[in-house]
Structure 1
Amino acid sequence: MGRFVIEKDGSLSNFKVLRSPGESLSNEAIRVMKESPPWNPGLQDGKPVRVQYSIPVAFTLATEE
């Protein structure tokens, strides 16, 4: 599970992994979240506001044959 803040301009900040089976997967989840294009910020009374957002992050690990 990953969490971040969507800033008023749509950029993302304050990345955090809430649950992870290991540090390398946490680092990869943060790397992917940082590469995300801008999001739409939250709106309050029609004005952009910062919002915290959590998303599930799933990995499929390949097995060696």
Structure 2
Amino acid sequence: MNFIVERDGSISGARVFSNSHRLLNKEALRVVESMPDWELGFEDDFPIRVTFNLPIRFLLN
């Protein structure tokens, strides 16, 4: 899973990079898009956009 943390802490551009089943990919997107705002990234005391890679692992029975 890859996305951008925007200057306001919101998430944009979420994408799944895997060969998982489409329903698992859809659920991973749903989970990430429903997360509360993230902490901002800063460079020289100014908020910046940050690309973030987040591994998501599903354990199925």
- State the TM bucket, normalised to the shorter chain: over 0.9
Aligned to 2:11: 12
Compute the TM-score of the two structures, normalised by the length of structure 2: 0.93
* Pairing 1:11-50 to 2, within 5 Å after superposition: 11-50=10-49
Following TM superposition, by how much is the alpha carbon of 1:20 offset from its aligned partner in structure 2, in angstroms? Answer: 3.5
TM-superposed deviation, 1:41: 1.6
- How many residues were matched structurally? 61
- Once the two structures are superposed, residues 7-65 of structure 1 have per-residue CA deviations (whole angstroms, 9 ceiling, x without a partner) of 00000010000114211100000000001111012101101000100011011112xxx
User: Unpaired runs of 5+ in structure 1?
Assistant: none
* 2:57 counterpart residue number: 58
TM-score using structure 1 length: 0.88
Identity of matched residues, %: 36
Give the alignment's Cα RMSD to 1 decimal. Answer: 0.8
Which secondary structure state, in structure 1, belongs to the residue aligned with residue 36 of structure 2? Answer: coil
Task: Point out 4+ residue stretches in structure 1 off by more than 2 angstroms.
Answer: none
